[in-house]
Structure formats: structure tokens, C-alpha cells
Amino acid sequence: MTMISAAQTAIKQGLGGIIFTDHYDVDPPKGIVAFDFDPAEQQREIENIKYSFGNFEILKGIEVGIQLKSLAKINRFLDRFSFDTIIASAHFVEGMDPYFGDYYKNRDWREAYGFYLKSIYDCIVQFDNFDVIGHFDYIARYAPYNVRSIKYADFPEIFESIFRLLKERGKALEINTNTYRDKYGKAPELDIEILKRFKKSGGEFVSLSSDAHETGRIGENFGKYTAIIKEAGFDHVTHYKERKPVLTKI
Ligand SMILES: [Zn+2]
């Protein structure tokens, strides 16, 4: 999609703005292509089109794939540009891509999901150059287990460790509606208990994202998940502008 078509679709969806968060994934596992893009080109294009959209806001973002071995490289890259929003997401774990089957070999669901959550925690202990933790339950989209959803009750310690860091540093937990689409048979469900516990542990910021990749999915299911976020006790959703939280009442 073009930025213009994405922005036009977001307006039709009743959204007040859009953040383009192109992927930056370095050091991919063997046989997997790295995702790279030129932020200068992205930002130039945003500057070119934003004036024709009036009050509708178009922001510059990036989704960086975090891995322990790549953190220094990621920091060097991020230092060269300024973004409104940086999403930190785990796409590769232990040199493997959970999109493919190898990651799940000789692992039961508890091990596979737990290890994924722990890899997020291990990275953010060392890495602070982000605003939002992307799709914490991404792995459940592709996992081959009957247990389809990542639940708070199964991993309370690691969730609390992640919440503590997010709370201390004023960062957001992302609810990514792409995870819950029924495209792989039995889709994972969002465990509302995760949001409730995040709130209870002092978490303030929840970010809502459709991870759209195509115009047809922009803002997908935002109504449904806004209601869930509200039910969990939050009275706003958060996005970041110039790396600072901006709250939208829900
Ligand atoms: Zn992602």
C-alpha cells in the first residue's frame, strides 16, 4: 500500500491519525531475509504528504526486531534518525524464527511460550531505546499446539518482570489485533487477565495496533479491543509522538 492510500483508509475508519512503523530486523537466522528500510526515505515521504491531510496526524515510527546479539547494532541505527514511536518486538529467538517449525521442535507449549516471553524480558533489561513492546503473544499466532493462547496464569513471574520494567520506564504494552485474527485455523485469544495485572502492577500505557501491512486491515477490530482494554481498567489508549506518550480517552 502507499502511505496516501493507508492514510485515506484510516480516515474512513474514523481514526485520528496513523503511525507508519516499518520493520527493521537485523541478524536474521540462516536462510531468512533481513528486513531493512531507509528511514530517511520514509520520513521524506511523510513530510511530503502530511500537509494535505490537515488535522489527521501522520507519524514516523519503526518496529525493531530485538535480539540480544543485535542490541548494539540497533542502537547505532536508531541514533541516526528521529522517530515518533519505536516499537520493540521479538521476531527471532535464539537464532530461530518462530514463524517456522524448527523453534517448536522438542518444546512443549509451556516451554515455547515461556522462552519467547523471557527473550523479550532479557532484551529490555539491557535495551531502553523503545516506547512500546510489540505483540508480546506473537508466537502464539504460529505455534502448532492445542493450547492456542498465552495466559497470565501460566507465566505470572515473567509477566510481572516485564510489567515492572514497562512501568518503571513509562513504556507501553501493545495489544496487536493481528494476533487474534482467525487466519491460522484456531486463533489465539487475548487473555484480559494480562491487561488487568498490568494495570494492577502500576502499568499506565496500553497501545492498540492493527499491524496492518495492507489497507484492508487498518484499524481492524479496534472497537472490540478498545472495549477489552477499558474493561481491564484503563481509561485511555496511548500512542507516542516525538517519543512521548499521548493519551486518547476511551
Ligand atoms: Zn512484528
Domain membership of residue 75 (yes or no) is yes
What's the CA-to-centroid distance between 175 and ligand 1, angstroms?
Answer: 12
Q: What is the pLDDT of residue 95?
A: 86
Is 135 part of any domain?
A: yes
Instruction: Determine the distance separating the centroid of ligand 1 and the alpha carbon of 4, expressed in angstroms.
Output: 22
Q: What pLDDT is recorded for position 183?
A: 67
Considering the domain boundaries, does residue 57 fall inside one? no
Q: What is the Å distance from ligand 1's center to 106 Cα?
A: 25
Distance 45 CA to ligand 1 centre (A): 22
pLDDT at 102: 85
In this structure, the number of other CB atoms found within 10 A of the CB of residue 212 comes to 18
- Residue 86: beta bridge partners? 62
CA of 134 to the centre of ligand 1 (A): 6
Cα 63 to ligand 1 centre (Å): 7
Grid cell at residue 75: 542502537
What's the pTM value of the predicted model, to 2 decimals? 0.96
Q: Is residue 72 part of a domain?
A: yes
What's the structural domain count of the chain? 1
Helices assigned H by DSSP within the chain:
3-12, 39-50, 71-79, 109-126, 139-142, 156-169, 192-200, 222-231
The reply to whether 7 falls in a domain is no
CA 135 – ligand 1 centroid, Å: 7
Helix (H, G, I), strand (E, B) or coil at 167: helix
Taking a C-beta distance cutoff of 8 angstroms, is the pair 19, 174 a contact? no
Q: Measure 183 CA to ligand 1 centroid, in angstroms.
A: 16
Range of the domain at 166: 24-37+63-249
How many whole angstroms from 240 Cα to the centroid of ligand 1? 17
pLDDT number for residue 35: 85
**Could you write out the DSSP letters of every residue in 114-141?**
HHHHHHHHHHHHH----SEE--TTTHHH
Set of cell numbers at residue 19: 503511525
CATH code at position 186: 3.20.20.140
Asked if residue 45 is part of any domain, the answer here is no
User: Ligand 1 centroid to 124 CA: how many Å?
Assistant: 16
Structural domain includes residue 178:
yes
Residue 90 CA, ligand 1 centroid: distance in Å:
7
Tens place of pLDDT per residue across the chain (250 aa): 999 999 999 999 999 999 999 999 999 988 888 888 899 999 999 999 999 999 999 999 999 999 999 999 999 999 999 999 999 999 998 888 888 888 899 999 999 999 999 999 999 999 999 999 999 999 998 899 999 999 999 999 999 999 999 999 999 999 999 999 876 567 899 999 999 999 999 999 999 999 999 999 999 999 999 999 999 999 999 999 999 999 999 9
Whether residue 131 lies inside any domain: the answer is yes
Distance from the CA of 237 to the center of ligand 1, in angstroms?
Answer: 19
Distance 102 CA to ligand 1 centre (A): 19
